[in-house]
Homo-oligomer: A and B are copies of this chain.
Amino acid sequence: MIRTIGVADIEDLARGAAVLGTGGGGDPYIGGLLAAQAIREHGDVTVVTLNEVPDDALVLTVAMMGAPTVMVEKLPSLDEVTAPVHGLATYLGRPVTHIACAEVGGVNSTIPIAAAAALGLPLLDADGMGRAFPELQMVLPTLYGITASPLAFSDEKGNIGVLQTVDNTWTERIARVACVEMGCSVMISGFRMSGSQSREALVPGSLTRCIEIGRGIAAARREKADAVARTVELLGGREIFAGKVVDVHRATTTGFARGRARIDGGEAQLTLSFQNEHLIAEADGTTLATTPDLIIVLEHDSGEPITTEGLRYGQRVRVLAAPSDERWHTTAALAMVGPRYFGYDFPPHRFDGTPEVIAAAEAVA
């Protein structure tokens, strides 16, 4: 269990976050740069567990919204990262006490570290998903009735907005079009929670888990052991495919990086479909795993995670599937983040390849 995050922790944490980020969340190296800079300027970040947060805390999530492909060319400043928190604190008329991660994923695990350092606030060892998802309402807090709004969004030019919407999907819709107009990458802060609410709605231990995974990969490499196998073990998942990337289709549309990648394994071909994150893995007509479980692409030998925008022709990769937080498998959760929501007309499958029980019931109905 981690108690602080210093510059030396960033590389492992960002690598582990990129694994759990299932291809989304942006380049972990870029997010890491920003967090390291903030820690150098403002000191190490204090990490508190969900059990330690006072009931009456005022927790806010901080994240980047937009297409990670854009952020590679448009690195945010520390002022930009803290702007939506300041904007929201003014709007709420109460000081913020804790920062939390909305998701796990390269940039969106390290931006909250940068924000916590720059603001001098403790960071929760937790996040809103235990993985990454492309749309703002797709967090466990939504399922617990926590509103995304008031939500603040800001850009590098100094523009800032605060939304108060009727539900979290409307926050997503309005913030998304604003994000696209503002250059496809904005900083957001919202999902105001008390300490008690955060205990109920967040995934505990996410930052510790990221560092463990990141360190595991680094240690396996030092020991000349199989880094991918080590990761499979840490995730409690399975390796579903190995091969060479032979085709990548990618387009940045309506603020998302959407696409498909084909991986040639000799005897079979794997197709990965993604929208910021990998959502579907199928090989020759068989569904191997789907959202909400985790589909992860790692470099074949080093075990280094590869983001969807990092996929290139000729890369030798291994693909893992791993379980998500169990709360993602309820009917309400599957309606929000299952394959059908993303436009794929087939039932969700767990990481071990079995169809969701709930999906079977729905097929009968």
Measured CB to CB, the residues of A under 8 A from B are: 87, 91, 157-166, 170, 173-174, 176-178, 180-182
Q: State the copy count for this chain.
A: 2
Can you report 25 A-B residue pairs in the complex whose CB atoms are below 8 A from each other?
A91-B162, A158-B166, A159-B163, A159-B164, A159-B165, A159-B170, A159-B174, A160-B164, A160-B165, A161-B161, A161-B162, A161-B163, A161-B164, A161-B174, A162-B162, A173-B181, A174-B178, A174-B181, A174-B182, A176-B181, A177-B177, A177-B178, A177-B180, A177-B181, A178-B178
CA A163 to CA B174, docked complex, whole Å: 12
CA A162 to CA B150, docked complex, whole Å: 10
Measured CB to CB, the closest approach of chain B to A237, in angstroms, equals 38
Complex interface: chain B residues within 8 A of A181 (CB): 173-174, 176-177
Measured CB to CB, the nearest residue on chain B to A171 is B159
CA A167 to CA B166, docked complex, whole Å: 28
Q: Which of A166, A174, A182 has the most CB of B within 10 A?
A: A174
CA A164 to CA B177, docked complex, whole Å: 16
CA A17 to CA B164, docked complex, whole Å: 33
Q: A158-B165, A160-B164 are in contact. List 6 more A-B contacts (CB 8 A).
A: A159-B165, A161-B174, A174-B182, A177-B177, A177-B178, A177-B181
Complex interface: chain B residues within 8 A of A178 (CB): 174, 177-178
Complex interface: chain B residues within 8 A of A177 (CB): 177-178, 180-181
Measured CB to CB, the nearest residue on chain B to A170 is B159
Measured CB to CB, the nearest residue on chain B to A160 is B164
Given the known inter-chain contacts A181-B174, A181-B177, A182-B174, please indicate yes or no for A160 contacting B163, CB distance below 8 A. Answer: yes
User: Is there contact, CB below 8 Å, between B170 and A157?
Assistant: yes
Q: Which of A162, A173, A180 has the most CB of B within 10 A?
A: A162
Measured CB to CB, the nearest residue on chain B to A154 is B164
Complex interface: chain B residues within 8 A of A160 (CB): 163-165
Complex interface: chain B residues within 8 A of A162 (CB): 91, 161-162
Complex interface: chain B residues within 8 A of A163 (CB): 159-161
Complex interface: chain B residues within 8 A of A87 (CB): 164
User: Is there contact, CB below 8 Å, between B166 and A157?
Assistant: yes
Q: Which of B91, B159, B166 contacts A159 (CB 8 A)?
A: B166
Measured CB to CB, the closest approach of chain B to A175, in angstroms, equals 9
Complex interface: chain B residues within 8 A of A159 (CB): 163-166, 170, 174
Complex interface: chain B residues within 8 A of A176 (CB): 181
Complex interface: chain B residues within 8 A of A173 (CB): 181
Measured CB to CB, the closest approach of chain B to A213, in angstroms, equals 38
CA A174 to CA B180, docked complex, whole Å: 9
Measured CB to CB, the closest approach of chain B to A162, in angstroms, equals 5
Complex interface: chain B residues within 8 A of A174 (CB): 159, 161, 178, 181-182
CA A164 to CA B91, docked complex, whole Å: 12
Complex interface: chain B residues within 8 A of A164 (CB): 87, 159-161
